Structure 1
Amino acid sequence: MQAWRVHRNGEPGEVMRLEEVDRPVPGAGQLLVRVRAANVNFPDALMVRGKYQVQPPLPFTPGVEICGETADGRRIIGNPALPYGGFAEYAVVDEAAALPAPEALDDAEAAALHIGYQTGWFALHRRARLTAGETLLVHAAAGGVGSAAVQLGRAAGARVIGVVSGPDKARAARGLGCDVVVDRRSEDVVAAVKEATGGRGADVVYDPVGGDAYTWSAKCVAFEGRILVVGFASGTVPAPALHHALVKNYAILGVHWGLYVRKDPAAVLDCHDRLTTLAAQGVVKPLISERVPLAGAADAVRRVADGTTTGRLAVLPGAPPGEDTDRSAAVREGAGR
Structure 2
Amino acid sequence: MIHSMHALVVESLGATPTWGVVDRPEPGAGQVRIKVKAAALNFADTLMIDGTYQETPPCPFVPGMEVCGLVDAVGEESGRFRTGERIASFCGHGGLAEFVVVSEDRCFPVPDTMDDITAAAFPIAYGTSHLALTRRARLAAGETLVVLGAAGGVGLTAVEIGKALGARVVAVARGEAKREAALRAGADVAIDADTPDLRGALKTEGRIDVVYDPVGGAAGEAALRALAPEGRYIIIGFASGDLPSLRPNHLLVKNVDVIGFYWGGYRAFAPGVLTDSLAQLTRWHSEGRIRPHTSQVLPMAQANDGLDLLRRREATGKVVLTP
Report TM bin, short chain: over 0.9
Helix, strand or coil: the match of 1:70? strand
Q: Cα offset for 1:28?
A: 2.1
Of 241, 253, 258, the residue aligned with 2:259 is 253
Of 96, 102, 106, the residue aligned with 1:93 is 102
Measured in 1, the distance between the counterparts of 2:224 and 2:310 equals: 26
Identity of aligned residues (%): 44
Aligned to 1:292: 298
Measured in 1, the distance between the counterparts of 2:84 and 2:92 equals: 20
Letter in 2 for 1:188: D
What is the correspondence of 1:157-172 to structure 2 with a 5 Å cutoff? 157-172=166-181
Of 216, 239, 243, the residue aligned with 1:237 is 243
Please state if 1:54 is matched with 2:55: yes
Task: Write out per-residue CA displacement over residues 36-83 of structure 1, whole angstroms, 9 at most, x where no aligned residue.
Answer: 11111011001111111111111111100111210211111112254x
Measured in 2, the distance between the counterparts of 1:133 and 1:3 equals: 47
Gaps of 5+ in 1: 318-337
Please state if 1:16 is matched with 2:1: no
Of 10, 15, 33, the residue aligned with 1:6 is 10
Helix, strand or coil: the match of 2:228? strand
Q: Cα offset for 1:266?
A: 1.2
Helix, strand or coil: the match of 2:145? strand
Contact map agreement 1:3 1:87 (CA 8 A) in 2: yes
TM-score computed with the length of structure 1 as normaliser: 0.89
Aligned to 1:33: 34
Measured in 2, the distance between the counterparts of 1:264 and 1:136 equals: 26
Question: CA RMSD for the aligned pairs?
Answer: 1.3
Task: Write out per-residue CA displacement over residues 236-286 of structure 1, whole angstroms, 9 at most, x where no aligned residue.
Answer: 123411111010111101111122111111111111110011000111122
Gaps of 5+ in 2: 73-82
Helix, strand or coil: the match of 1:76? strand
Aligned to 1:221: 227
Q: Cα offset for 1:102?
A: 3.5
Measured in 1, the distance between the counterparts of 2:289 and 2:316 equals: 20
What is the correspondence of 1:65-84 to structure 2 with a 5 Å cutoff? 65-71=66-72, 72-80=83-91, 82=93
Measured in 1, the distance between the counterparts of 2:274 and 2:307 equals: 27
Alpha carbons of 1:103 and 1:213: their partners in 2 closer, same or farther (altered >3 Å)?
farther
TM-score computed with the length of structure 2 as normaliser: 0.93
Q: Structure 1 stretch 307-316 or stretch 15-24: which is displaced more? A: 15-24
The number of residues matched between the two structures is: 309
Q: Cα offset for 1:223?
A: 1.4
Q: Cα offset for 1:181?
A: 0.1
Aligned to 2:142: 133
